[in-house]
Amino acid sequence: MSRPPSSQTTPQFHRVSERDLTEIELHSVDSINDLHRTHPEHSQKGVRPPRPAYSPSLNGNLFTCDMSAVNQRRRPVSSKWQTRLQDMLTPSSSHAYAMGCAIITLLLLTVFLIFYFLVQQGGAVQMLTEAVREKEETAKELSLLIQELQALRKNLTVMRGGS
């Protein structure tokens, strides 16, 4: 088997006594109580305190990890725009409220523009209807004038022919 690269360190175990574990537990309880006292929004059911940086094992040994080795294995730090994009996509109550308001505003604006367009089209249709009526009236008048002219021409030809 090959040896692990030098950038990766092997975990180290330290023996922790029962008294130390009890002290750690009491300190954790005190810290949680302080957190609940200073930040009542964290005292709701289902909210868990942050996990400790160590993972106790069953045999009482404390597992520690070299964070420099962990950071070397992680992906590179994302750029600012990626972080901002993630923040925009991460749901939060104020963000969700703002997005909801923006969506409702856009929907209302769209409905307003549709009604405005329909009113404009209604006005244009009314003007066209009036123009068509006027054209029909003018056509009727012209046909009556043509009939009168034809009658006058007949009368004039009859008068010229009879004289």
Q: Is the pLDDT of residue 69 over 80?
A: no
List the single range of 19-33, 64-78, 99-113, 147-161 with lowest mean pLDDT.
64-78
Q: Which pLDDT band, with edges at 50, 70 and 90, does 146 fall under?
A: very high
pLDDT single digits (tens) 85-139? 777 666 677 777 888 899 999 999 999 999 999 999 999 999 999 999 999 999 9
Determine the residue type at 95.
Answer: H
pLDDT single digits (tens) 76-99? 556 887 777 777 666 677 777 888
Sign of the four-CA dihedral 42, 47, 50, 52: positive
CA distance 7 to 138: 97
Mean residue pLDDT of the chain comes to 77
Q: What is the pTM of this model?
A: 0.32
CA distance 96 to 40: 23
Beta strands in 4-163 (DSSP E): 12-15, 55-56, 61-64
Q: Is the pLDDT of residue 141 over 90?
A: yes
Structure tokens, 97: 């409220």
